[in-house]
Amino acid sequence: MTSLTSIASELDTLLATEGFPDYPQAINGVQVETETDIVKVAAAVDLRERTIQRAMEAGANLLIVHHGLFWAGLQPLRGPYYRRIHALLASGIALYSSHLPLDAHPEIGNNVLLARELGLTPSAGFARYQTIDIGVRGESDVATSELIARADTIARRWGGSVRSSPSEPRRTTKRWAICTGAGASADTLREAVEHHIDTLIVGEGPHWTAVDADEMGIVIIYAGHYATETFGVRALADHVGRTFDLPTIFIDVPTGL
């Protein structure tokens, strides 16, 4: 028998959840609890009705997500928000969410796992948020076009497609940085310039970031918010499965972004 308390304690310790800086709406850790023992674990990038329904159909009663219930902030229990909470409570599915702690984890985090998938080896942190480096950076000697192709393979695997700011056909990536999800911003571009980054790999970003990056001499590879954040929750669920001898499943519900 495996309790939610045991699993949550393991994950909170692994991810150093307590005190980890994050956005107020993240609310890392257990967001919805259950009094029954956990029998199967489901993982998904986003908490939404379709992921809850598929967790129910799979017989899972713990759902681990990267984006949890509360991103829209305080709101009345109506519409989709009500239906999500009602479905979780009615089915007895517990919800555990981890945002920046999972992005930043040095072994099972989204950024380090994306780097590995791209054939890159991190040597330092990147994308500083308050006191923590969320992303990673390093050096390489690979054709930028090859890196774009690798990122496109990942994006298409998860229902998206890669986009990139303009790059010269013969360009080589010497210094790269990764910040998954909504990783292209004024802060990451500024940090990229400070570290002489020539290729920035992110999930998504505003249109103007491609304009500014081009004039800074930086290529941005937009590999998809959803696609770049499938790695951490899958690894986290696998960790729970191995640690507590529980079956796991990944629920793939792409957003196309």
Backbone dihedral region of 245: left (phi > 0), alpha (psi from -120 to 50 degrees) or beta? Answer: left
Q: Given 3.40.50.280, 3.40.1390.30, 1.25.40.10, 3.20.20.70, which CATH number is that of 4-98?
A: 3.40.1390.30
Gyration radius of the chain's alpha carbons:
19
User: Across the chain, what does the average pLDDT equal?
Assistant: 96
The ranges assigned to domains in the chain are 4-98, 103-228
Q: How confident is the model at residue 137 (pLDDT cuts 50, 70, 90)?
A: very high
Q: How confident is the model at residue 9 (pLDDT cuts 50, 70, 90)?
A: very high
Instruction: Classify domain 103-228 at the CATH class level.
Output: alpha beta
Looking at residue 192, what is its pLDDT?
98
- Residue 227's nearest CA partner among 66, 11, 105 is 66
H/E stretch holding 117 reads helix 110-117
pLDDT score of 107 more than 90: yes
- Taking the C-alpha atoms of residue 72 and residue 13, their distance in angstroms, rounded to an integer, is 27
Looking at residue 169, what is its pLDDT?
72
Q: Quick one: tokens of 88?
A: 């979780």
Same fold: 4-98 with 103-228: yes
Q: Quick one: tokens of 173?
A: 């990536």
Looking at residue 6, what is its pLDDT?
98
Measured in Å, how far apart are the chain's first and last C-alpha atoms?
Answer: 39
pTM: 0.96
Q: What is the DSSP letter of 106?
A: T
**Rounded average pLDDT over 179-192:** 97
pLDDT, tens digit, 9 for 90 and up, residues 158-177: 999 999 987 777 799 999 99
Q: How confident is the model at residue 1 (pLDDT cuts 50, 70, 90)?
A: confident
